[in-house]
Chains A and B, each alone.
Chain A
């Protein structure tokens, strides 16, 4: 292997450009990965999971589909208004909610957790297997704005699948990539 010094100026220039280019790509890659796992900071209204959990509301009261189907679901505006017609009506954030209700508009929530389209995920089978909400979503009950604190990548899924009794079946590619 020749030493770097023995390379011609032109060769060194090319190598330099290549290294800088590769570095730039790496940074871009990292930025994409970070973007993938970070939450939207700004939600249309400052909903606090903590306040609701402290008042004894169970996850499933609002996320009704979690034990029944693939998607946990976001409650309808009507459901929010079921309580907030009477509760905390003087709060500016609740007045925002009432605005949506009066205009009969859906609240444009920003998504917090997402799996790519090539991943099949079903909430109900996990809930049925006794997986608690927190093991994937973190301590949402202590968050004001929900954050994707757990990086739900393939390793995270497989760590848990590996510990299960029917581990062989759960390790099959087509369990999630179907």
Chain B
């Protein structure tokens, strides 16, 4: 060593630090782990060997089958059930995060009462006392009750509540939350009822189609079931004989599905029906796809301004004609109506017009076409999402003081509807509000009693799967994979106990507990793919394999066509004048947070959004061209205002959006729902009015105009992608 320099010193220091860090990675924390052996060891459990139980995911209404890994009585991992007809072994991020609902530190740990609504001061109540109180309130209210259920409510509980409501003479339960709301379930149901006389959610056989025109359906992100469509999309891209399907996605802002499309068409918001009409017109006029298809198109196509339609797609009339030809001349073309067009003032008709493309192509109940759900035997039916008109009727009853007791399970009405719907005002007129939800959400804060249900990993239930993927009727089983983590009670059992004391309801709900009810319904099913001659064996197999479904899909005849002529679609009107509100607002459910129920789970909060890589925040996607014109850059906080309200969000410059459109994800902006959700981001539903669409299917959330004003504030976006300026060479497609 000639000279000990500063550099040498640093080398020694670095080597020492590295050793210390390596040693520091030792199992210090593991070493002092406390062992917690069983108090009573279950006979089938062997230490170190996991058990797997099949159940049903309830993080969205799709009804995917799950298998849960149990170590020493604790649920440690959720995977997709490989046997299940919906997700075929796959599971999405939201399904994986279900564990954090079970272990959420903000769960309601027992029955509680709130002295003053909104005070957030809850006093624990013994369950017997709570059930007695519920009995007194319900028995005094008689038929003056309201039942509000949501997509995390099990079908068996919906059935029991519906029986209770019928027995006491109350209107049937409202089954509505933001998930079906933002995915346009009801418009799809109503459109099919009008076209085919079948009010059912169809499936689109993506796997066998060769050309798909998706009108804003983010079927690989949030729409109906991303896992089921994900499996089908793989088959769509890798078909027999080397065929690779072609996907054209029409949407104003690129979604996950749009990012995978072969052609992305930045359509003007609200112009989907117009473009679908134009495609029909072109097929009819030009005779694309052979005489049969052209004739059907001639019968069903209405009058349409082709130039306007082409302009709405930012293309020439010839380019639009090329698309029409591409669709008409494909062997198995498929048109999928998405969520945003269902949220306009004439959503139901817009969905119906897109369906006409499938009718013209003759793609009904054939491989690669639209498939309708087969009937499930033994009278098991999936609860259908309520129309917005039914929701409004309940709110009116509440406002008129006709609801003395409101029971809320699986929905969060205060968050799920725009402020102008007046849910808070309606709740104030209700004498007693009971929330059965696992977290203190925005609605539970205004409740008088919290009677927390078991979360789905702790509870019993079943889901009648809808839509039925692969044309397979299925009842998915839900069983407790772990014992209840807290002193919570099954809502179905609470309801059955209460009903025993109410003379009108006692006869309608004679079951001792929910398992007796579920078993009675399930054992009435015929032998399925799981086998079992004996009812007991069938019941065991139902739980073991994750549900009931037949060995092969029964197949169905094409439905009778009710629509014989063109469907008139009124031009989309927008809330807000173009001069004052220059931008279209495009709302979309977050791929991770769903309709907002994922916001309380930190795994989903911290997972980056697939297209923007932003986590934990609410951002507004703005085209770089627009951002430059407005003097905005990434991280600027802007105030987005519509005629209905305003939110403050962070600018995210996004090249894959129309320059005249602002996109905001829905899911954040909770005032409650636990520590991870609370006071984070903005709830974009505040920008939306509460007016019903023409058919009363939904509130109109996709035809709002907004303006943007810059605030003085800045907030860095929590995002994964590089924030280095890409330079002038980056491709911006406008």
Which A residues fall within an 8 A CB radius of B? Answer: 1-2, 7, 11, 14-15, 17-18, 21-22, 25, 28-29, 32-33, 35-36, 40, 64-65, 68-79, 100-101, 104-111, 114, 116-117
Which B residues fall within an 8 A CB radius of A? Answer: 1-4, 6, 9, 12-13, 16-17, 19-20, 23-24, 26-28, 30-41, 46-49
A109 & B27 in contact (Cβ 8 Å cutoff): no
B34 & A111 in contact (Cβ 8 Å cutoff): yes
CB distance from A117 to the nearest CB of B (A): 7
A78 & B39 in contact (Cβ 8 Å cutoff): yes
A69 & B39 in contact (Cβ 8 Å cutoff): no
What residues of chain B lie closer than 8 Å to A17, measured between beta carbons? 9
Contact of B37 among A70, A73, A104 (CB under 8 A): A73
18 additional A-B pairs beyond A15-B9, A40-B32, beta carbons within 8 Å, are A18-B9, A25-B19, A29-B19, A36-B27, A68-B49, A69-B46, A69-B47, A69-B49, A73-B37, A74-B35, A75-B37, A76-B41, A77-B37, A78-B40, A79-B41, A108-B35, A111-B33, A111-B34
In angstroms, Cα B9 to Cα A15, docked, is 7
A111 & B46 in contact (Cβ 8 Å cutoff): no
Q: Which residue of B lies closest to A78 (CB)?
A: B40
In angstroms, Cα B38 to Cα A99, docked, is 15
Contact of B9 among A14, A75, A105 (CB under 8 A): A14
A77 & B23 in contact (Cβ 8 Å cutoff): no
A108 & B36 in contact (Cβ 8 Å cutoff): yes
Q: Which residue of B lies closest to A22 (CB)?
A: B16
Name the 8 nearest CB pairs between A and B, nearest first.
A71-B48, A73-B47, A76-B41, A74-B37, A70-B48, A71-B47, A76-B38, A25-B16
CB distance from B39 to the nearest CB of A (A): 5
What residues of chain B lie closer than 8 Å to A69, measured between beta carbons? 46-49
In angstroms, Cα B89 to Cα A172, docked, is 33
Contact of B23 among A18, A33, A40, A111 (CB under 8 A): A33
What residues of chain A lie closer than 8 Å to B19, measured between beta carbons? 25, 29
What residues of chain B lie closer than 8 Å to A75, measured between beta carbons? 37, 41
What residues of chain B lie closer than 8 Å to A14, measured between beta carbons? 4, 6, 9
What residues of chain B lie closer than 8 Å to A104, measured between beta carbons? 39
What residues of chain B lie closer than 8 Å to A74, measured between beta carbons? 35, 37, 47
CB distance from A15 to the nearest CB of B (A): 5
- Beyond A65-B46, A74-B37, A101-B39, whether A117 also contacts B9 by CB under 8 A is no
CB distance from A27 to the nearest CB of B (A): 11
A28 & B20 in contact (Cβ 8 Å cutoff): yes
CB distance from B402 to the nearest CB of A (A): 47
In angstroms, Cα B17 to Cα A24, docked, is 11
What residues of chain B lie closer than 8 Å to A28, measured between beta carbons? 20, 23
B39 & A22 in contact (Cβ 8 Å cutoff): no
Q: List 10 A-B contacts (CB under 8 A).
A: A7-B4, A14-B6, A18-B13, A25-B17, A36-B27, A70-B48, A104-B39, A107-B37, A110-B32, A114-B33
A70 & B39 in contact (Cβ 8 Å cutoff): no
CB distance from A153 to the nearest CB of B (A): 11
What residues of chain B lie closer than 8 Å to A65, measured between beta carbons? 46-49
Contact of A78 among B28, B41, B46, B49 (CB under 8 A): B41
Contact of B49 among A70, A77, A100, A106 (CB under 8 A): A70
Q: Which residue of B lies closest to A109 (CB)?
A: B35
A114 & B31 in contact (Cβ 8 Å cutoff): yes
B23 & A29 in contact (Cβ 8 Å cutoff): yes
What residues of chain A lie closer than 8 Å to B37, measured between beta carbons? 73-77, 106-107, 109
What residues of chain A lie closer than 8 Å to B38, measured between beta carbons? 76-78, 106
Interface centre among B6, B12, B28, B47 (most CB of A within 10 A): B47
What residues of chain B lie closer than 8 Å to A100, measured between beta carbons? 39
What residues of chain A lie closer than 8 Å to B20, measured between beta carbons? 25, 28-29
Q: Which residue of A lies closest to B17 (CB)?
A: A25
What residues of chain A lie closer than 8 Å to B23, measured between beta carbons? 28-29, 32-33
What residues of chain A lie closer than 8 Å to B49, measured between beta carbons? 65, 68-71
CB distance from A82 to the nearest CB of B (A): 11
What residues of chain A lie closer than 8 Å to B3, measured between beta carbons? 2, 7, 11
Q: Which residue of B lies closest to A14 (CB)?
A: B9
Q: Which residue of A lies closest to B6 (CB)?
A: A14
In angstroms, Cα B41 to Cα A78, docked, is 8
- Beyond A18-B12, A32-B26, A111-B32, whether A105 also contacts B39 by CB under 8 A is yes
- Beyond A7-B4, A69-B46, whether A116 also contacts B34 by CB under 8 A is no
CB distance from B72 to the nearest CB of A (A): 9
Interface centre among B16, B20, B28 (most CB of A within 10 A): B16
What residues of chain B lie closer than 8 Å to A108, measured between beta carbons? 34-36
CB distance from A173 to the nearest CB of B (A): 18
What residues of chain B lie closer than 8 Å to A11, measured between beta carbons? 3-4
A116 & B26 in contact (Cβ 8 Å cutoff): yes
Contact of B39 among A25, A35, A77, A110 (CB under 8 A): A77
What residues of chain B lie closer than 8 Å to A22, measured between beta carbons? 12, 16
What residues of chain B lie closer than 8 Å to A40, measured between beta carbons? 32
